């Protein structure tokens, strides 16, 4: 019995010891950690508690490496509010909020986190160095979302595009003071994302853009067995992160004096070893050689001008002051023809003034650059597998350096300059070979299209008469989820009037909630609908294959006897016209929101015309078909009238003109001809409506009876374009953006389709500051001078005699 009693005591002792060990990394609600106590992660890698940095007597709550020499702090909670004595306490509330307090129970820091379901809420220090608040179901808060001066494996540095929050590094003020210092290291999301190191407002250094293998101008180790870097750009977030692939411990730290070294700890040394730094030589300083200068550490002096350029200020250049950079020896003649010169092995220039496209080929990239006179150079976005994607520069090329890597850039130059550069026979032969390949490829593609067209003609048969049940022969759509009528009826309370949120050409639209909690918008074909089976099939087949942040997402469909139903993601802010043309609700749309909507629409249409797999002409761009999400971001919807096309600027003809009065281009309304330029026209109309807050189809100026397009044109010619802007925007407008948007819109609504820009040009014009071409008179405009009619759109007569389809 005595022996059994000893066994039982030993057994319970083991249980208590086990409980004590597993509890070291976690505390529950209302538990405390006092100064002198700590949490230790499960694997013993990290410890959290109160500490004093360097020679300071102040106390801070922080996290540090436990297994490595003491003092390697990776995160500090109360950076700006130290505790002057040892009264510090960390406590977790029942609502999931971490609170650090000092003497007299004064709060010095809080995580500001909370959760409605507070059962099982705990704080846990993970072996990654991440401090988390969680319950059994979800993560509530994490320290990785609030970096200090240290970038740990698994942490994301970048921007959350949904919330707008940004995660970046900030230095300590000194080795003894962890409060925010002078230096910061963050991702800039203007143009193509890249990482900058700042000293206050002064840009010190730049990490080149991601090229698929690594960051341009940063060492890429082909046999790297220590860590993997990942760079992510999608509609929700932009960030880079890394993970360890060996037993070596690694961190990135922005030191108090502005250096950004990557440090490693090797197990046998048990200390930190500097691996590399962001500023390793003279050429790492931002734009040392100015615009169109190239820096090389192997030359003296290190700065030289790119081929075809010369110093802007020769005297300063000779005195080793290179900041003013270089200028072209010969001015570009965009319309007369330019060419591109390849510079191999460089760190890519600053991309803040750039445009990028992940799906374009390098040849398409060259074509896009050549079409835009503001484009100064281009390159592949991803250098893997021969290169893919497109990156265009729309401004002077800054901060370029020679670098022993695989990245090349193509610089725009005058043709006469290149004649002197292509001087060797080998270069000539290479160009000749390229030309032969291009011609042969074009011939093969042309033959393929001709054969495909002929086969389609042969297979074409007269339409079969529609059966009594018009949907009985419809094939399923493999790319989409099928919903039963019972599911949809249940989600919409049996298509209750109280759930109805709108009415379109297709039929009524209802809000619904699926069993899994997802909110949906349900479009139900009505018996009186102006659209039918063809439009339904067209919309499903088009939008099911499209994925873009500025296109509404189709979740599924329902076909049941005579019922045709489409199920979309729900847009809580309704459509653009709901706000734009209502005197009260329009006040909620300030200029930054309207300009964001204009740019988002442009990117969405560009995707349809050029970047999507299908290449689509929408044919019904209007305010009612621009939906707004919870953050007022635009989503193009309603693809029932959309049409696929093949090749660039393809023109189709139809006897059935469809669309919406006020947005249809003249060549489409009169002759039935539609092309991508038809959508460009509709976009231009919509931009003028967004700026003015007026409907084109209802606007008529009291003095001269102009419609909205004519009124905008008249104000532009009189130098009074800003008067077109809605009075509600005066407090928030950026005048240059408003005037530029009006100018671009007038280019889009020009009478002749050939004069209108492509959507790629529109997107580039909206983000650049280059000079714009002069627009020609718009369609639907009558100009009278000295009693004589000078310009009449033939569409005016058509509008009187022929009603529009919608």
Residue 85 falls in the annotated catalytic set: no
Residue 408's H or E segment, with its range, is strand 408-414
Q: How far is CA 662 from CA 295, 618, 642, 797, in A?
A: 54, 15, 18, 14
What is the torsional sign of CA 789, 792, 796, 798?
positive
The residue among 637, 638, 527, 634 whose CA lies nearest residue 589 is 634
Q: Which of 149, 620, 638, 679 is catalytic?
A: 620
- Distance of CA 683 to CAs 71, 615, 719, Å? 59, 17, 23
- N- to C-terminal Cα distance for the chain? 95
Give tens-digit pLDDT for 321-363.
999 999 999 888 776 667 889 999 899 999 999 999 988 999 9
Dihedrals φ, ψ of 762, to 5°?
-60, -50
Give me the half-sphere count of Cα atoms (radius 13 Å) on the Cβ side of residue 69.
Answer: 9
**Cα separation, 208 vs 398, whole angstroms:** 11
The pLDDT value recorded for residue 86 is 95
Coil, strand or helix: which one is 486? Answer: helix
| 392, 355 Cβ separation under 8 angstroms | yes
The helix/strand/coil state of 160 is strand
CA–CA separation, 450 vs 702, rounded Å? 54
The helix/strand/coil state of 265 is: strand
- Alpha carbon of 524 to those of 46, 493, 495, 571, 622: distances in Å? 57, 14, 9, 17, 20
Is residue 267 within 8 Å of 247, Cβ to Cβ? yes
Tell me: the pLDDT tens digits for 12-35? 444 334 444 444 899 999 899 999
Establish how many alpha carbons lie within 13 A of residue 204's alpha carbon, considering only the half-sphere containing its beta carbon.
18
Report how many helices (DSSP H) and strands (DSSP E) the chain contains, helices first: 15, 49
For the chain, how many residues are written?
806
pLDDT at 41: 95
Instruction: Work out the widest C-alpha separation in the chain, in whole angstroms.
Output: 122
Name all domains of the chain by residue range, CATH numbers in brackets.
25-146 (2.90.10.10), 319-421 (3.50.4), 481-569 (3.30.200.20), 576-801 (1.10.510.10)
Measured CA to CA, the distance from residue 340 to residue 303 in angstroms comes to 22
Mean pLDDT, 10 residues at a time, the chain of 806 residues: 44 40 76 94 94 95 86 94 96 93 94 85 95 91 96 95 91 96 94 93 92 82 73 92 85 85 58 70 90 89 93 93 93 78 92 92 90 91 89 94 84 75 50 65 68 56 38 54 89 91 79 92 70 68 75 87 86 92 92 95 88 77 92 87 61 60 81 86 96 87 78 94 95 94 96 90 83 87 45 38 34
> Can you read off the two tokens belonging to residue 92?
């977790």
702 contacts: CB under 8 Å, gap ≥ 6: none
346: left (phi over 0), alpha (psi -120 to 50) or beta: beta
Q: What is the pLDDT of residue 675?
A: 86
Query: pTM of the predicted model, to two decimals?
Result: 0.58
Neighbours of 24 (CB within 10 A): 15
CA pair distance 238, 188, nearest whole angstrom: 10
Q: What is the pLDDT of residues 487-539, one digit of tens each?
A: 999 999 999 988 998 876 667 889 999 988 999 999 887 654 555 666 677 66
Q: Which pLDDT value is given to residue 401?
A: 92
Distances (CA, A) of 428 to 344, 355, 434, 435, 442: 18, 31, 10, 11, 21
| Residue (of 133, 148, 72, 68) closest to 98 by Cα position | 133
């Amino acid at each position: 019995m005595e022996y059994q009693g000893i066994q039982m005591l030993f057994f319970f002792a083991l249980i208590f010891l086990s409980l004590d060990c597993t509890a070291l990394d976690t505390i529950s609600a209302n538990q405390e950690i006092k100064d002198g106590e700590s949490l230790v992660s499960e694997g013993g890698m990290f410890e959290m508690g109160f500490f004093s940095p360097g020679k300071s007597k102040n106390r801070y709550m922080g996290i540090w490496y436990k297994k490595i020499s003491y003092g390697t702090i990776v995160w500090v909670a109360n950076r700006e509010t130290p505790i002057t004595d040892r009264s510090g306490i960390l406590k977790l509330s029942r609502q999931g909020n971490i609170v650090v307090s000092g003497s007299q129970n004064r709060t010095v820091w809080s995580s500001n986190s909370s959760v409605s379901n507070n059962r099982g809420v705990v704080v846990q220090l993970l072996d990654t160095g991440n401090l988390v608040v969680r319950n059994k179901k979800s993560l509530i808060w994490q320290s990785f979302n609030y970096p200090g001066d240290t970038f740990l494996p698994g942490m994301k540095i970048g921007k959350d595009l949904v919330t707008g929050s940004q995660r970046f590094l900030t230095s300590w003020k000194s080795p003894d003071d962890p409060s925010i210092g002078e230096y910061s290291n963050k991702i800039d999301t203007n143009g193509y994302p890249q990482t900058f190191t700042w000293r206050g407002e002064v840009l010190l250094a730049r990490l080149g853009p991601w090229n698929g293998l690594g960051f341009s101008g940063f060492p890429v180790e082909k046999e790297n067995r220590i860590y993997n870097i990942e760079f992510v750009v999608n509609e929700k977030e932009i960030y880079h992160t890394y993970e360890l692939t060996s037993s070596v411990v690694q961190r990135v730290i922005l030191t108090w004096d502005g250096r950004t070294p990557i440090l490693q700890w090797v197990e046998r040394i048990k200390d930190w070893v500097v691996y590399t730094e962001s500023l390793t030589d003279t050429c790492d300083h931002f734009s040392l050689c100015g615009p169109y200068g190239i820096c090389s550490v192997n030359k003296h002096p290190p700065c030289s001008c790119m081929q075809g350029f010369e110093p802007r200020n020769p005297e300063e250049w000779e005195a080793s002051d290179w900041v003013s950079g270089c200028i072209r020896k010969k001015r570009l003649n965009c319309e007369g023809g330019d060419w591109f010169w390849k510079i191999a092995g460089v760190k890519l220039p600053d991309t803040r003034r750039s445009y990028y496209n992940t799906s374009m080929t390098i040849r398409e990239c060259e074509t896009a650059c050549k079409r835009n006179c503001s484009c100064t150079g281009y390159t592949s976005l991803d250098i893997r597998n021969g290169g893919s994607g497109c990156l265009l520069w729309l401004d002077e090329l800054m901060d370029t350096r020679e670098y022993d890597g695989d990245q090349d850039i193509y610089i725009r130059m005058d043709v006469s300059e290149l004649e002197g550069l292509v001087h060797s026979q080998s270069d000539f032969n290479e160009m000749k070979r390229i030309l032969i390949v291009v011609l042969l490829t074009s011939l093969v593609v042309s033959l393929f299209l001709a054969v495909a067209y002929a086969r389609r003609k042969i297979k074409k048969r007269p339409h079969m008469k529609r059966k009594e049940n018009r949907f009985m022969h419809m094939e399923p759509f493999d790319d989409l989820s099928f919903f039963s009528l019972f599911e949809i009826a249940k989600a919409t309370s049996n298509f209750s009037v109280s759930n109805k949120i709108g009415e379109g050409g297709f039929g009524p639209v209802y809000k619904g909630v699926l069993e899994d909690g997802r909110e949906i918008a349900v479009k139900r074909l009505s018996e009186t609908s102006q659209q039918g089976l063809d439009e339904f099939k067209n919309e499903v087949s088009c939008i099911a294959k499209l994925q873009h942040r500025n296109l509404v997402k189709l979740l599924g469909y329902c076909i049941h006897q005579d019922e045709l139903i489409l199920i979309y993601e729900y847009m809580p802010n309704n459509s653009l016209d709901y706000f734009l043309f209502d005197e009260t609700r329009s006040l909620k749309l300030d200029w930054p929101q309207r300009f964001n909507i204009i740019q988002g629409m442009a990117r969405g249409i560009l995707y349809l015309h050029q970047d999507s797999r299908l290449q689509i002409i929408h044919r019904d761009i209007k305010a009612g078909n621009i939906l707004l999400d919870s953050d007022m971001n635009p989503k193009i919807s309603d693809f029932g009238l959309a049409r696929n096309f093949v090749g660039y600027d393809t023109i189709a003809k139809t006897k059935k003109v469809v669309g919406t009065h006020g947005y249809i281009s003249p060549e489409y309304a009169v002759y039935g001809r539609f092309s991508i330029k038809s959508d460009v026209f509709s976009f231009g109309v919509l931009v003028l409506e967004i700026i003015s807050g007026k409907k084109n189809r209802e606007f008529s100026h009291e003095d001269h009876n102009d419609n909205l397009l004519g009124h905008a044109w008249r104000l532009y010619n009189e130098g009074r374009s800003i008067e077109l802007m809605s009075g509600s925007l005066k407090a928030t407008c950026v005048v240059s953006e408003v005037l530029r948007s009006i100018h671009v819109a007038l280019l889009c609504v020009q009478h002749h389709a050939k004069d209108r820009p492509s959507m790629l040009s529109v997107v580039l014009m909206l983000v650049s500051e280059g000079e714009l071409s002069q627009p020609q008179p718009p369609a639907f405009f009558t100009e009278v001078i000295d009693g004589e009619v000078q310009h009449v759109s033939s569409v005016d007569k058509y509008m009187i005699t022929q009603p529009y389809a919608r």
